[in-house]
Amino acid sequence: MIDASNGMPLPPDYTWGNLLNLVQSIAAACGDANPPHPELSSLTPDELRETRHIVLLVVDGLGQKTLDDSGAAPRLATHWRTTLTSVFPSTTASAITTFMSGLAPSQHGLTGWHMYLEEIGRTLAILPMTPREPPPVQPAAPDVTSPLLPELFDYPTLFQRLGRESWVLSPQSIAASPFNAWHTRGAKVVPYVTLPQLFEQLQLLMAAETPRFIYAYYPELDTVSHRFGTGSDQARETLAAFDAAFGDLMTRRQGPPTWILVTADHGFIDSPPERVITLDDHPRLAACLARPLCGERRAAYAYVLPERCVEFKRYIEEHLSESAILVPSAELIGRGWFGPPPVHRRLASRAGDYTLLMKDNWTIKDWLPWEKRCAMIGVHGGTSTDEMRIPLITAKI
């Protein structure tokens, strides 16, 4: 059982101040008659209806702590409205899918970067849709016409449900990817390459008289935070550049009234090398697993061989209790960590038998022999305050 005494923060409450609730307010304001979840109390649909356009800018990795501590984004900070929580796990695959579907992870069924998919018997990195199998047997990623996509992602997009014109601004590198193309059905997609191009395209879209919902995704802060750390000069410079572009938009904006909403998919913590557990150093633990770990470095799903279950649990208790909490994944589902019911029919199989919830700034990782090893200083996916808390910035211009 999980309780507050073990030092782990409680999971998100999807009923009041989650990014999921923000999406419900936007959906209701844009004509969705029956949003499936409660709306955000601090930003109601009636308030959002006061303008012609609604813009949602998602800055990947912009945690509340980063906004508060970096000092690199004074213009964004000026328009801060409230703090939201991310979904569980606090990671891009789960949260971005919530933004693009209006569903909790319990319903869209995306549980992290690596997911075991029993319907095809493979483990995929779900966003690029590439398998972890050895390169010689790897198939090409499916294209947007593949019958695999409706099998894996069997829900409508948010844009298909809205009663207004929808647009998506997406980095050119991912705009036409199978995952992105499938999840932007119902919207018109505009690729961009640079930050100035993102804001130039945004200005053009906001000049229209026809009411629009515009969703824009900016990934660079996440990229540099993973590589260099959340407090690095590179992360500060990236956030400062976005803040300057946002400030310029505020001063130069002309056209119909528009809500500009800025938020994130998750926050970040830093994990030094000495806090990284690799299964190379724990062969007895690895021998208990039926397949490689899935999910995230901060919330890893373990698929355990039935005959090794007792040994697996004993090993965690004896060797990793300082760094990890072992929880039956069914308990997390039942307690609503992934979101409310009804749950996706594949959710249990995509969350493994057990979840390793990493304490403090610990991470866990396994490496397959053919995988290129890479270090990550900045990490996310867990339920620490810094990973879970994200800002909501609002400006009516």
Q: Are strands 188-192 and 165-171 parallel, antiparallel or unpaired?
A: parallel
Confirm whether 12 is domain-assigned.
yes
Confirm whether 353 is domain-assigned.
no
Side chain identity at 340, as an amino acid letter? P
One pLDDT digit (tens) per residue for the chain, 397 residues: 454 334 456 688 899 899 999 999 999 999 998 888 999 999 999 999 999 999 999 999 999 999 999 899 999 999 999 999 999 999 999 999 999 999 999 999 999 999 999 999 999 999 999 998 776 555 666 665 677 899 999 999 999 999 899 999 999 999 999 999 999 999 999 999 999 999 999 999 999 999 999 999 999 999 999 999 999 999 999 999 999 999 999 998 777 899 999 999 999 999 999 999 999 999 999 999 999 999 999 999 999 999 999 999 999 999 999 999 999 999 999 999 999 999 999 999 999 999 999 999 999 999 998 888 988 999 999 999 999 999 999 999 9
3-state DSSP call for residue 357?
strand
User: In this predicted structure, what is the pLDDT of residue 4?
Assistant: 39
User: In this predicted structure, what is the pLDDT of residue 5?
Assistant: 39
Q: What is the pLDDT of residues 236-258, one digit of tens each?
A: 999 999 999 999 999 987 778 99
SS (H, E, C) 221-265: HHHHHHHHCCCCHHHHHHHHHHHHHHHHHHHHCCCCCEEEEEECC
Confirm whether 28 is domain-assigned.
yes
User: In this predicted structure, what is the pLDDT of residue 7?
Assistant: 47
User: In this predicted structure, what is the pLDDT of residue 11?
Assistant: 80
Nearest to 19 by CA among 358, 393, 359: 393
User: In this predicted structure, what is the pLDDT of residue 372?
Assistant: 87
Contact 99, 215 (CB under 8 A): yes
Q: What is the pLDDT of residues 32-71, one digit of tens each?
A: 988 889 999 999 999 999 999 999 999 999 999 999 998 9
Q: Are strands 378-379 and 269-270 parallel, antiparallel or unpaired?
A: antiparallel
The DSSP secondary-structure symbol of 42 reads T
Chain centre distance of CA 255: 32
Confirm whether 126 is domain-assigned.
no
Confirm whether 277 is domain-assigned.
no
Confirm whether 56 is domain-assigned.
yes
pTM for this prediction = 0.95
Lookup: tokens for 93: 């695959």
Beta partners for residue 260, in sequence order:
55, 395
Total structural domains in the chain? 1
For residue 51, give the CATH number of its domain: 3.40.720.10
Contact 125, 305 (CB under 8 A): no
Residues 6+ apart with CB under 8 A from 324: 277, 316, 356, 357, 358, 359, 362, 364
**Quick one: how many helices (H) and strands (E) in the chain?**
18, 18
**Axis crossing angle, helix 233-252 with helix 195-206, rounded to the nearest 10:** 20
Confirm whether 251 is domain-assigned.
yes
Confirm whether 75 is domain-assigned.
yes
User: In this predicted structure, what is the pLDDT of residue 137?
Assistant: 59
User: In this predicted structure, what is the pLDDT of residue 140?
Assistant: 61
Side chain identity at 231, as an amino acid letter? G
Handedness of CA 394, 177, 364, 303 (dihedral sign): positive
Distances (CA, A) of 30 to 20, 133, 164, 384: 15, 42, 6, 33
Domain encompassing residue 190: 4-103+155-270+383-396
Contact 247, 393 (CB under 8 A): no
User: In this predicted structure, what is the pLDDT of residue 3?
Assistant: 47
